[in-house]
Chain A
């Protein structure tokens, strides 16, 4: 068991290291560098050389990767080429905002998705199931900027209930993000609920049709007890992985929603730093998001292992 956990942990670390090398290599392979991007037309002669020396760009790529990685391990991500501020500070503010957005979405979405998933799974092809399954496909597939546009149109412009935009600065106190955060949370909750609901529903249907549930029914176990004690614990297991994927998505990829609502999170930071070619920030962001992705998936794997004793013996690798 311990061996298995260590094995997974090691594979996760290798993935993060590779991801950081991939993004470093990609940035390295592209024409131009941070100094050319920041100085723009002034990027000639002595100024360019000075800037390159300040940022250490005159050293060979491998040396720079090694020193960057060593810094990152100590929590020192360097300074932004654009603003000259320490990246760790800039990243920290945005990360807090993204966590706030993700946290609100998860707090609303997970209970909602589990509840609806179980209900639709138990009453397959009922009215609620048909409505939610169709609505789920719509919520999952319609682009976020489309559903956001429609929600803003209805609830902000039409009814005037909530603002359609967040005006808080990255470092603003958390209270400033309300009530502007309501609509972005609503958009993200729709997408995430649809994904989790779908998994929970099909897994509930599968478990309710399984032999051990039929056995319990034939033995005369009350239906409520079958559902709560026998079916749900195994039916909810597959939800762990989907929830993990959703968390990874919320923490690393809600660029479009952040842009639409002007939300100062990691996604907008990503776009801004790429367009400004602030490469040190791009690398730090890539490292952060890749680590979150790997960590969340690892946590889901371990949680599944803890909840399902069958997996611990065979299938040591995945």
Chain B
């Protein structure tokens, strides 16, 4: 709660949390808010510009863009909101254990981590998706797995900064086992770093999810999805720019919101937002 108050005290934190809350509310409530059926095709209404009946106009199939934009983040938000905590949890715990254990196991596993990170994200994701499809049940574990790998590095580095300190030796001397040291001594100390990392992972996962949809490997039409909507409407941008700009604005505000919030969170817990990289 104290952290939340400190985040809200910064303009970036207030704006960020505001945008994220707005998007979460929209995603949760949109099925009851939208004025039209998202998949209802109306040939007489193709590329209708914004007016009183269709506030944001219609797309190439005469579908209401406001409706599709409101609904278009639901699958992305649902998938990433489930996958992010899983990624941070498994990556974080693995990293903490490796940082504590050190030695041969640490050497070997960190080589594997490096090797996985050296491969381009799209290649890793697509190999899975092309084989197993792009359903929610495939995307959640895939994202959770691949986006947990870089978390191992962050958690391991944060742990190594703590492991040499006296209170760990004291806990060892008191006879605490490894599990108890991880839970009672290490976890509280690396939790801040993991929270910031989690916020960043969330925004990168959203980016990956929308990019996949945009490239045609994610959400299948006619389900409304921002990445897919932008891809579809790009060809008609000269005649119906509103069709592309609405999902562009929606996706951008969510990702900017998460990043502002992550920035404020990092400052609130006294961390420099780590020099981490997306994939």
Contact = CB atoms under 8 A, between A and B. Distances in A.
B252 A146 contact: yes
A92 to B, nearest CB: 18
B277 interface: yes
* Of listed B123, B207, B263, B275, residue having the most chain A CB within 10 A: B123
Contact of B120 (A138, A141, A253, A275): A253
B279 interface: yes
Contacts of A157: 237-238, 241
B122 A275 contact: no
Given A249-B277, A282-B127, A14 B122 contact: no
A5 interface: no
A137 to B, nearest CB: 6
A69 B279 CA distance: 26
A316 interface: no
* Of listed A31, A146, A242, residue having the most chain B CB within 10 A: A146
Interface string A1-35: 00000000001001110110111001100111000
Contacts of B203: 141
A128 B279 CA distance: 30
Contact of B259 (A137, A143, A267, A289): A137
Interface stretch (B21-29, B52-60, B109-117, B163-171): B109-117
Nearest to A259: B215
Nearest to A144: B211
Chain B: interface size category: 35 or more
A265 interface: no
Interface in A228-260: 238, 241-242, 245, 249, 252-253, 255-256, 259-260
A270 B130 CA distance: 13
Interface in B179-224: 203, 207, 210-211, 214-215
Interface residues of A, number: 54
B123 A274 contact: yes
A255 B278 CA distance: 14
Contacts of B256: 137-138, 141-142
B219 to A, nearest CB: 15
A68 interface: no
Nearest to B260: A137
A270 B248 CA distance: 26
* Of listed B119, B230, B275, residue having the most chain A CB within 10 A: B119
Contact of B237 (A30, A153, A290): A153
Contacts of A271: 122, 126, 215
A37 B117 CA distance: 27
A294 B118 contact: yes
B272 interface: yes
B123 A149 contact: no
Interface in A46-75: none
Contacts of A259: 215
A290 B207 CA distance: 22
Interface in B129-153: 130-131
A150 interface: yes
Contacts of A242: 275
B111 A15 contact: yes
A202 interface: yes
Nearest to B234: A149
B237 A149 contact: yes
Interface in B5-43: none
A19 B263 contact: no
Contact of B118 (A16, A138, A256): A16
A277 interface: yes
Contacts of B131: 30-32
Contacts of B227: 143, 145
B211 A143 contact: yes
A19 B118 contact: yes
Contact of A267 (B122, B124, B245): B122
A259 B122 CA distance: 12
5 contacts: A15-B114, A18-B114, A143-B211, A146-B230, A274-B123
